[in-house]
Amino acid sequence: MRAPIAILALLVLFGCGPQSDPLPPSPPQVVRIATQNVHYIILDKPTGPWSVGDWEDRKGALDLAFKAAAPDIIGFQEMESFRRGDDGGVNLARDWLLAQNPGYAAGANGDWRTFPSTQPIFYRTDRFTLLDQGWFFFSDTPDVIYSRTFDGSYPAFASTVRLRDRDGAILTVVNVHFEYKSGSNRLASARLVADRMAPLIASGERVALIGDINALRGSRTAQILKDAGFTFLPVAGSTYHLNQGLNLFGAIDHIAIAGPMTATGGSHVQRRKFDGRWPSDHYAVVADVTLN
């Protein structure tokens, strides 16, 4: 038993790296894009991990993290509140953040019966106008809402928005959450995203891909998207931390761009607590880009 305990102690010691410094304000000429998996909330669970009680305890931290990132655009994954038999009409995290941040609106959002609203994309209303929004499922029937994935696991999908900034530039944002267990699902999902974004990229439009791909930047999953024309921005260190600040492996949350956009640097990982709490089991990833 001594060897496993020693290994675990080393992982804890070296996995808990220094917390990140606060982000500086973004220059006015850049667009700050972010992504964060905020973990679902279980409505019929009053206490314990990811319960309603847990949400009440961490929601202030999530809002502080949001304000610290100060994104112009941010995509969320697992922004859902559910119970068995639930109709999909409750979304505690989405409604809380919108109420606390009135300068933002939620795109990729709508009536749950016709639009899966658990991956909204927030945007600053003083800078962007929503032109269109959409979704497609990682499935053999991608245009059938809530269809199961390629191997029959729980539904997973991409949400999209098309935004126009105040200077007239158009940007499409695709927000994804790939399967964490099945490698074949991840590969098939990446191929579908590549196929769906191919016409936009071929026509020279700006496309930003954000989200939790459950894969490293050097993976086969990421390579499919790179081959489609996306450039992944460098991310140093972990983005998933087991809700413990344990930074044990490389980034699985990413921002990638295609078309006439330029990153002003790499990605910043918001690797710190807020008001003594982790906002989620994933850190927010933030990057500044210019729309050329």
217-257 pLDDT, tens per residue?
Answer: 999 999 999 999 999 999 999 999 999 999 999 999 999 99
Select the more confidently predicted residue: 26 or 73.
Answer: 73
List the structure tokens of 268: 């910043």
Q: Is residue 18 part of a domain?
A: no
Query: Tokens 């761009």 correspond to what residue?
Result: 257
| pLDDT bucket at 85, cuts 50 / 70 / 90 | low
pLDDT of residue 108: 98
| pLDDT bucket at 11, cuts 50 / 70 / 90 | very low
Q: Is residue 84 part of a domain?
A: yes
Write the CA distances from 222 to 179, 215, 253, integer angstroms: 13, 7, 11
Q: Span 64-75, mean pLDDT?
A: 97
Write the CA distances from 244 to 63, 137, 254, 278, 280, integer angstroms: 19, 31, 20, 8, 10
- Average pLDDT of the chain is 93
CATH of the domain at 146: 3.60.10.10
- With b for 16 or more beta-carbon neighbours within 10 A and e for fewer, the 61-85 pattern comes to bbbbbbeebbbbbbbbbbbbbbeee
pTM: 0.93
* 217: Cβ contacts below 8 Å, ≥ 6 apart: 232, 234, 235, 250, 251, 254
List the structure tokens of 185: 């699902």
Q: Span 63-87, mean pLDDT?
A: 92
Q: Span 204-209, mean pLDDT?
A: 98
pLDDT tens-digit series, residues 147-184? 999 999 999 999 999 999 999 999 999 999 999 999 99
* 213: Cβ contacts below 8 Å, ≥ 6 apart: 176, 178, 186, 190, 221, 222, 252, 253, 254
Q: Is residue 77 part of a domain?
A: yes
pLDDT tens-digit series, residues 123-138? 999 999 999 999 999 9
Q: How many domains does the chain have?
A: 1
- Residue numbers of the domain that contains 120: 25-291
Q: Is residue 129 part of a domain?
A: yes
Q: Is residue 43 part of a domain?
A: yes
pLDDT of residue 281: 98
| pLDDT bucket at 9, cuts 50 / 70 / 90 | very low
Q: Is residue 38 part of a domain?
A: yes
Nearest to 286 by CA among 79, 131, 66, 84: 66
pLDDT of residue 142: 98
Q: Is residue 13 part of a domain?
A: no
Query: Tokens 């112009």 correspond to what residue?
Result: 72
The rounded radius of gyration (Å) of the Cα atoms in the chain is: 18
Q: Is residue 135 part of a domain?
A: yes
Rounded CA-CA distance 273/117 in Å is: 27
pLDDT of residue 90: 94
Q: Is 117 helix (H, G, I), strand (E, B) or coil?
A: coil
Q: Is pLDDT above 50 for 6?
A: no
pLDDT of residue 16: 53
Cα dihedral 237, 242, 246, 251 in deg (nearest 10) = -10
pLDDT of residue 18: 52
pLDDT tens-digit series, residues 87-100? 778 999 999 999 99
| pLDDT bucket at 7, cuts 50 / 70 / 90 | very low
Report the range of poorest mean pLDDT among 25-29, 49-53, 85-89, 167-171. Answer: 85-89
